[in-house]
Copies of this chain bind each other. A is one copy, B any other.
Amino acid sequence: MLVHLITKLALFLYICLIGFLNMEKLQNIRIAVDAIVFGYKSSGLCVLLIEQQFGSSEKYWALPGGLVKDEESLNDAVIRELHEETNVQLTFMEQLYTFGDDIHRDSRNRVISVAYYALVDASNLEIKADTDAERVQWFKIDEIPPLAFDHNLILEKGIERLKAKLTYEPIGFDLLPEEFLFSDLENLYCTLLEKEIDRRNFRKKILSYGILEETEKFSPIKTGRPAKLFKFNKLKYNELIKKGFHFEIKFA
């Protein structure tokens, strides 16, 4: 305990010294990362939230995230926070936006948050059991509770971006299992983009791109004509991209 206090004091003095030497440069702004983890279930698009304790009684659901460490890249910070708070296996991650215009987005201190969004195959996923009395849970996108800080705003922007990106990059596959049915893919696009779509034209278009691979397997579903399972061929896609290929799915 005493050693801890001394260490703390030493660190304190060190920081004071640094602060003094860089007086005019010293900022009192913290920097955090937050992550939107999207998963797709048959019930629709979902987001991973964690329950945070504020003070003694206030509890809020929030996006997983936290302060960036001094010697850690932003990317590593997101990965670390996600690993600490959940145990999801990401299939895609990208920076979303940096939220720093609302000075009081965190009422305690000025915190600027670099938000990321990530995708996982949620169809077969155990999320981490409660740790530190924190709960982790999937929420359907249309049943989001009021979140901590400006996380509702961040989430909104994330959903917008995900929808946009779905139409011009093949990231829908990152929300599905490695092997999937055409009807899964079709449902994913219909549900997420909230648009009607002709099943046959959709199939024709995707197949014409030549980025899917047929497997020998068939779906385990016991109704209707048995359906082939497909895989996304990322290598083939990357080759095509080099030749100037441009993925696009759009609806009326």
- Which residues of A approach B to under 8 Å, CB–CB? 8, 11-12, 15-16, 18-20, 22-23, 25-31, 67-75, 95, 97-98, 100-103, 109-110, 112, 114
Contacts and interface: CB of A to CB of B under 8 A. Distances in A.
A31 to B, nearest CB: 6
A15 B25 contact: no
B103 A71 contact: yes
Main secondary structure of the interface of A (DSSP, over half): mixed
B12 A20 contact: yes
Contact of A73 (B26, B27, B72, B100): B100
A89 to B, nearest CB: 21
Given A103-B71, A112-B74, A15 B30 contact: no
3 closest A-B pairs by beta carbon, nearest first, are: A74-B100, A73-B101, A98-B98
24 contacts: A12-B16, A12-B19, A15-B16, A15-B26, A19-B19, A22-B109, A25-B30, A25-B109, A27-B30, A27-B68, A27-B69, A27-B70, A29-B68, A29-B70, A31-B31, A68-B100, A71-B110, A73-B100, A73-B101, A73-B102, A74-B101, A75-B101, A95-B97, A112-B114
Contacts of A102: 73
Nearest to A250: B246
A102 B73 CA distance: 6
Nearest to A12: B20
Given A95-B97, A98-B95, A70 B15 contact: no
Given A73-B101, A74-B112, A67 B27 contact: yes
Contacts of A12: 16, 19-20, 23
B70 A110 contact: yes
Contacts of A15: 16, 19, 26, 28
Contacts of A28: 15, 18, 70
Contacts of A67: 25, 27
A164 to B, nearest CB: 10
